[in-house]
Amino acid sequence: MPDIIEFPLPTSAADPQWQDYCRLGREYNHELLGTTEWDESPEDALLQAAAETDYTQRRYLAHVDGEAVGRARILVNHVDDPDAAALHVDVHPDHRGRGVGRALADRLVQDTAGFTRFETWPMAAPPAPGEQVLMPSSRAGAVPAAHPGVRLAQSYGFAVAQIERVSRYDVAAPAVDPAAALAEAERFSADYEVHAWEGPGDASARADLAVLKARMSMDVPAGDLTVAEQTWDAERVRRTEEQILLTGRLFRAAARHRGTGRIVGLNELVAPRSRASGVVDQWDTIVLPEHRGHRLGMRVKATNLLALRGAMPEARAIITWNAEENRPMLHVNEALGFRPILVEAAMEATAPLRRPATPANRLQK
């Protein structure tokens, strides 16, 4: 049986347990992407973890014969959703099928007594033709039924609540010219102006940005997931900016309504400095409901893509997540040249976690 340990956040990135935890995370990403473009340095990862104020995280390692072969974590949004825990388990491919994942999961179950709701998000390659899959009740998207992370989650009572599509945009050689997409979108949004900038927002803009961030938590399609509304204010926006800028570059494009002067649309990109020639992370894209229908989503995204390309020509790609039933945003992404590369199963369970469990989702061929 593997030896499972929980370890505290260290004070130095040279800490052996932290090094093992980060190495396993990088290897997990290498397996998903097939490249090192998603790598994050242990130093940057520690800076970000130490600066976190809204989430609490517990970290675990599984050792076999003294070697760290798996990791797990419990993540809790103690500001907005303190009764729910997001769980993650991953095991190095060379050690799967030997009970390591089960041992880590058992420890997470033990340490989450008292929580009422649980989420987990296994990621996989898209299903191959003819492969058995699991689908949420919306029937939008699917995940391979045989994926080890999905099967492990099912055995503890998790069910697929939604499928997220993970898409990639090639910055240097996009399938669609973002300048042409921007020009087309501008024809439908004459009542708005869009500005792009790098770094924190002006203090005067943070109240509007907080409204958009709060709407983002509720407006995105959630499938069968239970979603807690997030509370944002100007101070939380400022804290988030400071945390991002510790290790990364923040690019924003915002749409301002000419009549009211309010910011009503937003796109955010975050580029970690430790992987300047790697993957940029897509954060929020949101337009307030009363201002939709003017192609502002396309306009802020295309504007920010051009800004990123001008500021970081060495960036290779952008990775973004979208709910498979979020057809309006998928349409924008597809029109800009984003292409699907992975699927992520949003799985949910309520207390008590149990095993074994009968899958609650339909199995499709």
104-119 tens-digit pLDDT = 999 999 999 999 999 9
Q: Which residues contact 243 (CB under 8 A, 6 or more apart)?
A: 48, 51, 52, 53
- pLDDT tens digit string along 216-240? 999 999 999 999 999 999 999 999 9
Rounded distance between C-alpha atoms, residue 218 and residue 88, angstroms: 23
| For residue 359, pLDDT beyond 70 | no
Are both 105 and 186 inside the same structural domain?
A: no
Tokens of 246: 């510790």
Are both 149 and 8 inside the same structural domain?
A: yes
Tokens of 75: 């993540």
In a domain, 331, yes or no: no
Are both 289 and 144 inside the same structural domain?
A: no
Q: What is the pLDDT of residue 362?
A: 36
Are both 304 and 194 inside the same structural domain?
A: yes
| For residue 249, pLDDT beyond 80 | yes
- pLDDT tens digit string along 34-79? 999 999 999 999 999 999 999 999 999 999 999 999 999 999 999 9
Q: Which residues contact 17 (CB under 8 A, 6 or more apart)?
A: 5, 7, 10, 61, 68
Tokens of 215: 């709407």
Q: For the chain, what percentages of helix, strand and coil (3-state, to nearest 5) are there?
A: 35, 30, 35
Measure Cα distances from 283 to 15, 318, 319, 334 in Å: 30, 10, 9, 17
pLDDT band at 278 (very low <50, low <70, confident <90, very high): confident
- Whether 151 contacts 268, CB under 8 Å: no
Question: Pairing between strand 143-144 and 3-7?
Answer: unpaired
Q: Tokens 């709060």 correspond to what residue?
A: 214
Question: Region 144-152: what's the mean pLDDT?
Answer: 96
Q: What is the pLDDT of residue 356?
A: 52
| For residue 297, pLDDT beyond 60 | yes
Q: What is the pLDDT of residue 363?
A: 36
Rounded distance between C-alpha atoms, residue 243 and residue 253, angstroms: 19
Domain count, the chain: 2
- Residue 83: CATH number of its domain: 3.40.630.30
- pLDDT tens digit string along 155-174? 999 999 999 999 999 998 89
Are both 210 and 238 inside the same structural domain?
A: yes
Q: What is the pLDDT of residue 358?
A: 39
Q: What is the pLDDT of residue 74?
A: 98
Q: What percent of the chain has pLDDT over 70?
A: 97
pLDDT band at 288 (very low <50, low <70, confident <90, very high): very high
Q: Work out whether the CA dihedral 123, 142, 346, 292 comes out positive or negative.
A: positive
The count of other CB atoms within 10 Å of the CB of residue 337 is 18
Rounded distance between C-alpha atoms, residue 121 and residue 143, angstroms: 11
In a domain, 333, yes or no: no
Strands (E) located in the chain: 3-7, 55-64, 67-77, 84-91, 117-120, 123-124, 133-134, 143-144, 159-170, 192-198, 248-257, 263-272, 279-287, 317-323, 339-350, 363-364
- Whether 223 contacts 323, CB under 8 Å: yes
Q: Which structural domain, as residue segments, surrounds residue 115?
A: 3-162+344-364
Q: Tokens 């095991």 correspond to what residue?
A: 91
Rounded distance between C-alpha atoms, residue 190 and residue 79, angstroms: 39
In a domain, 328, yes or no: no
Look at 359 and 77; give whichever has higher pLDDT.
77
Are both 207 and 91 inside the same structural domain?
A: no
Rounded to the nearest 10 degrees, the angle between the axes of helix 42-51 and helix 234-247 is: 160
pLDDT band at 365 (very low <50, low <70, confident <90, very high): very low
Closest CA to 225 of 120, 321, 353: 120
Q: What is the pLDDT of residue 361?
A: 39
Are both 197 and 126 inside the same structural domain?
A: no
> What's the alpha-carbon Rg for the chain, to the nearest Å?
21
- pLDDT tens digit string along 299-340? 999 999 999 999 999 999 999 999 999 999 999 999 999 999
In a domain, 107, yes or no: yes
In a domain, 325, yes or no: no
The count of other CB atoms within 10 Å of the CB of residue 75 is 16
Q: What is the pLDDT of residue 354?
A: 83
Q: Which residues contact 269 (CB under 8 A, 6 or more apart)?
A: 250, 251, 252, 280, 281, 282, 283, 304, 308, 318
Measure Cα distances from 135 to 152, 223, 326 in Å: 16, 11, 16
Are both 153 and 179 inside the same structural domain?
A: no
- Whether 120 contacts 322, CB under 8 Å: no
pLDDT band at 275 (very low <50, low <70, confident <90, very high): confident
